Amino acid sequence: MEENNLIYGLELQARALTPQNGESNDVCFFIATNSLKPTNQLHLLQYDEEQGTIQSKIFEHALGEVWKLNSCPHDAHLLASVYNVQKGAQVLTQAALLTLPTNDSRDSNNAEPIKSEYIPWAKIEVLETAELGERVKTVEFHPSQEQTLACVVGNKLAVMQRAEASTRVVAEVSSGTSGTSGTKHLSPFTSGKWSHHHQGHQFLALHDTSIRAYDVRDTQHCAWSIEDAHGQFVRDLDCNPNKQCHLVTGGDDGCLKVWDCRMVKGPVFERSDHSHWVWSVRFNTFHDQLILSSSSDCKVLLTCAGSVSSEAPGTDGGDAIATGGLQERHKVLSDGLLQTFDQHEDSVYCAEWSNVDPWIFASLSYDGRVIISKVPKQYKYQIIM
């Protein structure tokens, strides 16, 4: 496996990683640092498979330390970052949309003498979130509507229409629903994600140990929910892009669970291979039997959930509506843990598949190490042959 890995190091702590979703040719990832020092950076990594090298473009993220990055699936140059700002004796978490310079402008910049070591941004747009709350958790691009953003702030969930510059609060966890601690400490949403299905009307939000699906057309309309999905916090989720109603979650109990939202009583698939909290879970976009998960036990695990994937024999091929590229039926591996990647030395908060090459993924640990790895050849061949 060793020759499959490529390591890229940051000098600062980092917790944000995302593939460049709008890019369709090259394997590109964004990473950003999470440091209280004033010089936070955002790197665009481009992986060259033939040469086995990583080329990086470094941008400055002067706004503050980055907690989360999301890239726009419609525009390769657009990404959203969530960052901390210190205001007096308070720390606020805000969000901004960043636009990369186009190649032309970059070239022209290159011609000039280098004023700084960083490439400047084409545009920085700070989102108006102050009214919503102090703590932005994530900004999610709508999978099909380019102008729509979902913003999870504190205990509120808001949908923004960029074109109209309008913001609408869709859901709010009030103290009434969140138990006994009273108004003093409201447990906020942890994160969230757009559902790939339901015509993009559903947004899945994580709250404490539960998952809630809100219909964004109607305020406070909870379509369905899974209470106590995990024994402790639910840290992350991902929707199966090829199979409706299926989603994967990871939580503080170290478990990875695949759910069918039509059957909220129990998971359809469950593993607990991690020995600490699971911080991120991702379906492979092309072969959704492969699930990538990262954990604070310093490991990245590649798990196969073939029996509940869209590729499983017996499931209706019609489920594979999102991708037209799955004409032939691929072979399904047997369920279970496929591979452990333990080259990280610190907690791995992010692991992401490449949106271009189904066999490549990147993982980022807190100590700033990015590792770009490949699915081991034997599994790759088993699936495609």
Partner 1 sequence: MDEKDNPFDMDSSSFDADRYLEKLLKDCSLKQIMDTEAAVVKDTQTLHSDMQTLVYENYNKFISATDTIRKMKDDFKQMETDVNLLMNKMQSITTFSEQITGTLQGTRSQLCRLSEKHSLLKRLQFLSTLPAKLKALIEEQNYAQAVQDYLHAQKVFAQYGRQPSFDGIKRDCDAIMEELKERLRQDFQSAGNTAQSLTEIGELLLQLDEKTSDLASEMLRCAGKRLHEQIVMLQDQTERDMLEFVDMGIDGFLNDLALVVTSYFDMFVAKHYEHERDDFQENALNALNIFLNENVDKYLTLVQDRVESDIGYGDTQVMLRALDRLHRRLQAMRNICRGLQVQRNTLDIIIGAAHQLCDAHSKSLKDHFADSLSAVRLSLVSAKSDVNLSELIGNLYVAMVEKIKGVLQDLMIFLRSDWSFNIKAENKGALCVEGIREHLLIGFLRHISKVMSGFADVSSSSPPNLLLVLSKTCLELEQQGVHMLIALVDDLYEIDSENSATLTHETEICAEMRETAQALLDSYVRLQGTNISQMLRKSVETRDWLNCLEPRSVRAVMKRVVEELGSIETVLASLYESAGNAGFRTTASSDSSRKTYFSNFNASKPQYRSNWSNYTPSQLESSYVSNIHRLFSERVDIFTSVEFSKASIVMGIIKIGLKTLLECVRLRTFSKFGLQQIQVDAHYLQMNLWRFVSDENLVNFLLDEILGSAVHRCLESVLMEPNAVEIICERG
CB 81 within 8 A of CB 32: yes
Q: Which residues, listed in sequence order, are joined to residue 17 by a DSSP beta bridge?
A: 31
By CB under 8 A, is residue 368 in contact with partner 1?
Answer: yes
The whole-angstrom separation of Cα 196 and Cα 71 is: 16
By CB under 8 A, is residue 365 in contact with partner 1?
Answer: no
By CB under 8 A, is residue 277 in contact with partner 1?
Answer: yes
By CB under 8 A, is residue 265 in contact with partner 1?
Answer: no
- Which DSSP string corresponds to 215-268? ETTSTT-EEEEETTSSSS-EEEEEE-TTSTTEEEEEETTS-EEEEETTBTTS-S
By CB under 8 A, is residue 91 in contact with partner 1?
Answer: yes
**Complex with partner 1: residue 48 or 342, whichever CB lies closer:** 342
Report the nearest approach of partner 1 to the CB of residue 252 (Å): 8
**Complex with partner 1: residue 22 or 251, whichever CB lies closer:** 251
By CB under 8 A, is residue 86 in contact with partner 1?
Answer: yes
Q: How far is CA 233 from CA 23, 126, 220, 274, 359, in A?
A: 33, 29, 22, 15, 30
* Contact window for partner 1 (CB under 8 A) among 101-109, 114-122, 269-277, 314-322: 269-277
Can you read off the two tokens belonging to residue 24?
């369709």
The whole-angstrom separation of Cα 150 and Cα 192 is: 9
For residue 193, report the phi and psi dihedrals to the nearest 5 degrees.
-160, 150
Contacts of 129 (CB under 8 A, 6+ apart): 94, 95, 136, 151, 153
Please select the residue that binds partner 1; options are 346, 357, 376, 380, rule is CB under 8 A.
346
By CB under 8 A, is residue 227 in contact with partner 1?
Answer: no
Q: How many CB atoms lie within 10 A of CB 307?
A: 17
By CB under 8 A, is residue 218 in contact with partner 1?
Answer: no
Please select the residue that binds partner 1; options are 147, 342, 378, 381, rule is CB under 8 A.
342
**Complex with partner 1: residue 188 or 192, whichever CB lies closer:** 188
* One character per residue 1-40, x = contact with partner 1 (rule: CB under 8 A): ----------xxx---------------------xx----
Report the nearest approach of partner 1 to the CB of residue 36 (Å): 6
The whole-angstrom separation of Cα 66 and Cα 154 is: 17
Tell which residue, 31, 60, 55, has the closest CA to residue 43: 31
* One character per residue 114-133, x = contact with partner 1 (rule: CB under 8 A): --------------------
* Contact window for partner 1 (CB under 8 A) among 40-48, 144-152, 194-202, 343-351: 343-351
Report the nearest approach of partner 1 to the CB of residue 372 (Å): 19
315: Cα within 13 Å, side-chain hemisphere:
21
**Complex with partner 1: residue 214 or 279, whichever CB lies closer:** 279
Residues forming contacts to partner 1 in the complex (CB under 8 A) are: 11-13, 35-36, 84, 86, 89-91, 185, 231-232, 253-255, 272, 274-277, 296-298, 342, 345-347, 366-368
